[in-house]
Amino acid sequence: MSEPKNSLAQASSSYLRSAMHQPVDWHEWTAEAFDKAQRENKPVLLDVGAVWCHWCHVMDRESYENPEIAKLINENYVAVKVDRDERPDVDSRYQAAVQAMSGQGGWPLTAFLTPDGRPFFGGTYFPPDDQYGRPGFKRVLQTLSSAYREKHSDVLESAEHVMSAIDHAESFAGRSGEISGGLGDGMVKSAIESFDPHHGGFGSAPKFPHPSILDLLIDYCGRSGDEQALKVVSTTLDRMAQGGVYDQLAGGFHRYSVDERWVVPHFEKMSYDNSELLKNYVHAYQLAGNEFYAHIARDIIRWMDDCLSDRDRGGFYASQDADIDLHDDGDYFTWSLAEAREALSAQELEAVAPLYDIGEVGEMHHRPEKNVLHIRATPEQIATRMKLSVDEVQKLLSSAKEKMLRARLVRPTPYVDKTIYVNWNALCISAYLEAARVLELPEAEHFALRSLDRLLSEAWSAENGLKHVIAYSDSAAQYREVTGLLDDYAFTAISCLDAYEVTTDLSYYRFAEKIAAKMIENFHDETSGGFFDTSRRALQGNLGALAARRKPLQDSPTPAGNPAAAIALLRLHSYSGDNKHRDIAESTLETFAGIAGQFGIFGATYGIAVTLYSRPHTQAVIVGKDEKAHELYRAALSPFSISKSVLQFDPDHVVQKNLPPVLAQTIPSLPALKQYKSVAVLCSGFSCQPPMESASVLKQHLHQQEQVSSARKIS
């Protein structure tokens, strides 16, 4: 006899379907669920989580699979479960509500709503009974059900206050001001002040990667040569890559570190963390030429290729889970000394144990014998200890890593969510394209372009715009289409511009124009400036807190939608010359200018947008296909600069037809360029310098261009 299922058996999301066998009468986020709550005059229990979230699984097992608790819920509430990756618009608003009520947010998000969706109480994880200093979920359910019936007016008053807090969060009304070109440098200074000089990163435990501030720092280093800023970048990138937060065997970064040393991570791996950190390591390589950064970048791609890529059709999967089950906490990724001894020869173990600090006692509290692999010794130190040459040690370490990875692959593997989200895919595409051109990885470029072509084919229509999801992890009984959000548009427009710069195929530029135009049509606030996160079309029939308008400014953790939209429009303007693009970007930045500086490193994408706005955009155009042209291209790419783009045209193709309006008008005529076999033309501020044939001369002019626009050093 088959096990009974609730309505989530029909959900598209793999996270929601994982709850189909729970005895809770779950509903998806639909009008029908809220209609039922109003008919029965019951409060709504809202659970927001994700397939990769460890504590979501814990609460599912402890509470939602508990028949006694399920009975309490079914009798007194209408239960609604939401996948935060599928519906970030729902999650963001109720996160703001719970933070206003409890001072903290996160997942699982547990909120109690009136039948029309207004929150009146909330928190995150609740144990089934009172423990960990937290009230038990049974007691919370009983207390709030009684309060809803017996103190109804108090509940409604509380809900009204919380809705006001949601409306206020990220509305930024009255926070406009003049755009200060030094705001980005102010964020750099904030990063330097919060820098941990011993372990890298910012602040103390827990430590998250902050890719946007790292890019802002890398750009600042390239312009100013500031050694203090360079130390922040190099120490942070070094320590992260040497830590347990980096998967030393398979590549790729875990979501964050629970300690300040980057040793013990939360083991889930997200596509967006790895895409943005991939950019950081590529940009740092452009800045410093450090081969270690190039190695980490290639290693991230290796893991993404192996685990997060649809190799047949193109596209990037969403995430890899941390655990196999609730009794597991990163066991797949960690090693006991006995497990390492079983996989390796005695000499390999002698070499690898000090490298990764593998001992009898490791770092995992639930299983003290388990070690998180992190770099604690150099091959040179190991060679001295073993009385071997460094080359001999390197061979031992290489064979040991291969054997350990093979042994790990035999273990039950954490779930990979194969859902293809448009916004996260666009970030991955941009990262792959940047890595491909800097590190000369044609396969990465090919896969990125195939993935973008799939996005444009399956997610975009001229009439309806973008979707948020184009494929779910598993075959679903019912495919639920989710309307595209601001992030989907801004990130996809940027990825189209990146694709144009890599391929010089004007069709990608035209897609960027179309997507940006639809973004303006659907999301732009013509009255007060800036962009809402949800479209005007999606506003009709909004439920609960979705009625609150939101203009995202803070990076959390992906780049915020408003500065990303401004970046897309500013980059478009540098090619289109259309003042509408720049004017809307300018008004967007002005909308938040009075408040953005207070966000510090969490406002770094806004800092990047202001930097791009404040400096003339530079385009290095290379015409040629021989080795000399390749030298010019490499010279143009180094160092990294936020406000620079590099394009290479094959002179045998019809170059003029692939030039956007600005370049078609400003670069010297093609007949004039044909006297050169390979040549570079440097354009900035809608004018171009005379053609250059020398890579060293091009580098010199690029350096001078940066010096002209460089801000003063931070003292």
Mean pLDDT of 271-295: 97
Q: Among 38-52, 165-179, 285-299, 315-329, whose mean pLDDT is lowest?
A: 165-179
Backbone angles phi, psi at 77, to 5 degrees: -140, 160
- What pLDDT, on the 0 to 100 scale, is given for residue 674? 67
- What pLDDT, on the 0 to 100 scale, is given for residue 711? 47
Which has more pLDDT, 512 or 131?
A: 512
pLDDT grade for 326, boundaries at 50, 70 and 90: confident
- What pLDDT, on the 0 to 100 scale, is given for residue 669? 63
pLDDT tens column, 662-702: 888 877 665 566 667 899 999 988 888 889 999 999 999 99
Neighbouring C-beta atoms of residue 151, cutoff 10 Å: 12
- What pLDDT, on the 0 to 100 scale, is given for residue 709? 60
Distance CA 207, CA 244 (A): 12
Mean pLDDT of 639-646: 94
Per-residue pLDDT at 395 exceeds 90: yes
Question: What pTM, to 2 d.p., does this model score?
Answer: 0.96
Distance CA 638, CA 625 (A): 19
- What pLDDT, on the 0 to 100 scale, is given for residue 131? 84
Mean pLDDT of 347-375: 96
pLDDT grade for 492, boundaries at 50, 70 and 90: very high
Structural contact between residues 349 and 340, judged by C-beta atoms closer than 8 angstroms: yes
What percent of the chain clears pLDDT 70, i.e. is strictly above it?
A: 95
- What pLDDT, on the 0 to 100 scale, is given for residue 713? 40
- What pLDDT, on the 0 to 100 scale, is given for residue 673? 65
Per-residue pLDDT at 715 exceeds 60: no
pLDDT grade for 173, boundaries at 50, 70 and 90: low
- H-type alpha helices, 485-603: 486-503, 506-523, 536-539, 561-576, 579-592
Domains of the chain (ranges, CATH numbers): 7-168 (3.40.30.10), 199-290+321-414 (no CATH), 618-709 (3.40.30)
Amino acid residing at 452: L
- What pLDDT, on the 0 to 100 scale, is given for residue 538? 64
- What pLDDT, on the 0 to 100 scale, is given for residue 364? 93
Q: Tokens in use for 388? A: 């071997």
For residue 398, how far is the Cα from the chain centroid? 31
- What pLDDT, on the 0 to 100 scale, is given for residue 43? 97
pLDDT tens column, 412-446: 999 999 999 999 999 999 999 999 999 999 999 99
Q: Among 38-42, 249-253, 353-357, 711-715, whose mean pLDDT is lowest?
A: 711-715
- What pLDDT, on the 0 to 100 scale, is given for residue 639? 85
- What pLDDT, on the 0 to 100 scale, is given for residue 469? 96
Mean pLDDT of 154-173: 78
Distance CA 280, CA 273 (A): 11
Distance CA 138, CA 120 (A): 18
Contacts 24+ apart (CB under 8 A), 138-145: 138/68, 138/69, 138/72, 141/45, 141/69, 141/72, 141/73, 141/76, 141/77, 142/72, 144/43, 144/112, 145/43, 145/72, 145/76, 145/77
Per-residue pLDDT at 632 exceeds 70: yes
pLDDT tens column, 503-549: 999 999 999 999 999 999 999 999 999 999 999 776 556 788 888 88
- What pLDDT, on the 0 to 100 scale, is given for residue 476? 56
Structural contact between residues 565 and 581, judged by C-beta atoms closer than 8 angstroms: no
Q: Tokens in use for 86? A: 């599928």
- What pLDDT, on the 0 to 100 scale, is given for residue 172? 65
- What pLDDT, on the 0 to 100 scale, is given for residue 329? 80
Q: Among 138-142, 161-165, 282-286, 644-648, whose mean pLDDT is lowest?
A: 161-165
pLDDT grade for 171, boundaries at 50, 70 and 90: low
Per-residue pLDDT at 74 exceeds 50: yes
Mean pLDDT of 216-235: 95
Residues with Cβ within 8 Å of residue 169, at least 6 apart in sequence = 96, 99, 100, 550
pLDDT tens column, 571-618: 999 999 999 999 999 999 999 999 999 999 999 999 999 999 999 999
